Structure 1
Amino acid sequence: MKADDLFMKEIRKSRTFILGAGFSAGAGVPLTAELLSKAMSKFENECNGIFQRVNNYARECFEIDENEVVDYSKVGFLELCTFLEYIELKEYGGGERWSSNGSKEKINLRYFLAKTLIEITPSENDIPRIYIDFVNELHERDIVISFNWDPLLERALDFVNKAYTYTYEDKKITICKLHGSVNWRLGEAPDYAKSPIDLGWKSMKYTEGMMDKEMYFSTSVLSKHHWFNGIRNSEIEPFLVLPGYGKSFDVRANAVMWYKPEFVFGSTHDVYIIGLSLAPDDFFIRSYFLSTLPYLTDSIATHKRTIHIINPDQSVEDNYSFVTKTQQCVIHCEYFDIKHIDSMRKNRQSA
């Protein structure tokens, strides 16, 4: 077989998986409203002073009377984060900003969102079978693009002893978390915040390009131990891209992660979009798809590539119409199921 034919055969075995919040929901990982409510409860119990400030901002934002309790399961997460972005803007203008990574309110909100996800995401032995089957189907030429903060995928891969990487290493499954992760931090911890416990932070090599601030990850931070041992570790400052207008600033710190998979669709076969409910105003994700998915059309004529969109939302066809009009797509308007993994396997074996 010619070298070019061998190369194309390998490409046909490669897949790209794009995961949204709906992917993790089957493991009990809460969606936005429930997650915010649970996180704010932890926030109130463990850091009440700063919680009260956020709570008062929520009252302003949603015009809630002082005599009423703020119900975080009903308020808009996006609107709250946008209002906190405005507060941060004021602090920045007045020289009051506490950290280059954001206001105390936003840093603590990220922390308690992450802590909630660390607690609720199943530990390795409790992960539902479908996720174990899914990661068993992954191989080193696959790329997973995730918009989730939670550690479900990493824990499942650890359980089956499959190596993964955030930085494109050979012989490992690549995970691109475009909205950050519970086990990432932006920049080194300042000296006053250094922990006596070595968390094993590793550079993601962002500053080898044009970025001036490094991103770090720690696999040990995926463990519940460092979050629930009675003392808050000052080095754990999760990098999470929050919704709202502040997202425009947050994603710039993770720009390398958005750039690296730019041409992934030019060297992959089938694409699976699982549980990503694409909101009409999510302009970054829409722009990413508009810019990169056309590379799929450069495929070998005899081996057409297909985008599989797996989502039970009845509006999924309308939300993805800008994709379905130009690409070969199959919409599965249903929950992610073992039959989809069986189909992935068959498609890979027949490619």
Structure 2
Amino acid sequence: MNNIGYRIFVIGAGFSVPAGLPTAAELYGLVKSRIESVYGTDTKFHRSLDEFIDYKQSTCNVTLTHDDVDLEEFMSFLDIEHYLWLEGSDTLSSKGNGAQLLIKKFIGQIIHERTPVATNLPQEYIEFAQNLKTTDVIITLNYDVILERALEFVGKPYRLFTHRFKSTHDYGGTIDDNKEEVVILKLHGSLDWFTNEDYLGSIAAFKKQNYHELPRDPIFNNNNKYAPIPLVDGSRTSDDPLKFIHRLSNLDSFYENFDPPSVPMILSPSHMKIVYANPFISFWHGLGMSGGFNLGINIIGFSLPEHDDYLRVCLYKMIKNYLYFQWDFTLNGVEKDNVKIVDYRVTDEAIEQLKQTYSFIDEQKSAFYLKGFSSDAVKFLFD
């Protein structure tokens, strides 16, 4: 048994399903219903939806209704429109256009509502957190805070960024490795992350105009109502985009608003999300060089969709390093383990599809558990 860690865990949506969180397929209908309950049906979301439906009919000869739209396809359409400023001056902000902003904030609200408090988390999450070591790294593609709640419940320290620094300079810094913490890298952002970059820009603009009051902001100038705290601490380089990101401590208070007053820092659930990755780009740095000296790589509930080539490249490089660089490497008597994959597959066809997806992994050095994430899956991962 590996009781010293040095493992990499890659976590997808299937990790969170046993806690009651919606699947990607469920999310579109839930978000659409929530937007309509708050704003009705005459919104930027619905106008964009109509345009997308017309686009699919005109370019692909595909007939859709409002109820059978694929969320990721729709968000890809919106991402292209926004990123290229195809709407010109109607492009609202760097966070997205009107439809994107509505979708993101209600994705955050719905996932928050479905996330159990720590004392109500299913036992498998507590067991998973208990088994983690402070030498382990979690790479998660989920927006939720299940893992953070489980680690806090068992009293295990963690951080949400790659490195702490003792000091920094123009080209990097001196790493501070004095704190033992599980590292969680949320590559797609998190429902409790918000940026103060626009707020700081507004303050600077006010000062230039000799206007000395602070600009309004629902989070950063609201009597500390939601208690934002910086995502990172310690010395950081001046160009680090993470320094603008804050976590909300009073998340319940924020999302209990009928209409949440701000948009969380999450990448759209689209095929084009990588073009918005810059705020979290440091999470990716060096991942392609990792794996060689790790003692385990485990993938939980991530089916590696065909359109996620950026993740496929990253996993391919990481796993190739793991399997083919010093496979006989040992540390304190612990050897490398098989690449372990936990997923939920019932039919032979679905099982074969998953194995084809991960066919770049040496069959002799891989192991599968296909009954979903559970206490038995935790035993499979850690034994």
TM-score normalised by structure 1 residue count: 0.83
Matches within 5 A, 1:1-351: 13-48=5-40, 49-63=43-57, 70-71=66-67, 74-89=68-83, 91=85, 94-167=88-161, 168=163, 170-190=179-199, 191-193=215-217, 194-198=220-224, 199-204=227-232, 208=237, 214-220=243-249, 223-230=251-258, 232-234=260-262, 237-259=263-285, 261-296=287-322, 297-299=324-326, 301=328, 303-313=335-345, 314=351, 315-324=353-362, 328-346=365-383
CA gap of 1:123–1:274, structure 2 versus 1, over 3 A, is same
The question of whether the paired residues in 1 share the 8 Å contact of 2:15 and 2:300 is answered with yes
Secondary structure of residue in 1 paired with 2:360? helix
Q: Residue 202 of structure 2 corresponds to which residue in structure 1? A: none
Q: Which amino acid aligns with 2:297?
A: V
For structure 1, list consecutive stretches of 5 or more residues without a partner in the other structure. 1-8, 347-351
CA gap of 1:312–1:212, structure 2 versus 1, over 3 A, is closer
Secondary structure of residue in 2 paired with 1:279? coil
The question of whether the paired residues in 2 share the 8 Å contact of 1:163 and 1:172 is answered with yes
More moved, 174-183 vs 98-107: 98-107
The question of whether the paired residues in 1 share the 8 Å contact of 2:241 and 2:280 is answered with no
Q: Residue 5 of structure 1 corresponds to which residue in structure 2? A: none
Return the alpha-carbon distance in structure 2 between the equivalents of residues 330 and 215 of structure 1.
41
Return the alpha-carbon distance in structure 1 between the equivalents of residues 131 and 52 of structure 2.
44
For structure 2, list consecutive stretches of 5 or more residues without a partner in the other structure. 59-63, 165-178, 200-214, 346-350
Return the alpha-carbon distance in structure 1 between the equivalents of residues 327 and 316 of structure 2.
21
Return the alpha-carbon distance in structure 2 between the equivalents of residues 246 and 162 of structure 1.
35
Return the alpha-carbon distance in structure 1 between the equivalents of residues 112 and 152 of structure 2.
15
Return the alpha-carbon distance in structure 2 between the equivalents of residues 57 and 238 of structure 1.
25
Q: How far has the Cα of 1:44 moved from its partner?
A: 1.8
CA gap of 1:106–1:258, structure 2 versus 1, over 3 A, is same
Bigger CA radius of gyration:
2
CA gap of 1:139–1:95, structure 2 versus 1, over 3 A, is same
Q: How far has the Cα of 1:274 moved from its partner?
A: 0.7
Secondary structure of residue in 1 paired with 2:96? coil
Q: How far has the Cα of 1:159 moved from its partner?
A: 2.0
Q: How far has the Cα of 1:244 moved from its partner?
A: 3.2
Q: Displaced runs of 4+ in structure 1, greater than 6 A?
A: none
CA gap of 1:185–1:261, structure 2 versus 1, over 3 A, is farther
Secondary structure of residue in 2 paired with 1:254? helix
The question of whether the paired residues in 2 share the 8 Å contact of 1:11 and 1:269 is answered with no
Return the alpha-carbon distance in structure 2 between the equivalents of residues 324 and 281 of structure 1.
23
TM-score normalised by structure 2 residue count: 0.76
Greater helix share, structure number = 1
Corresponding residue pairs, total? 329
Q: Which amino acid aligns with 1:254?
A: F
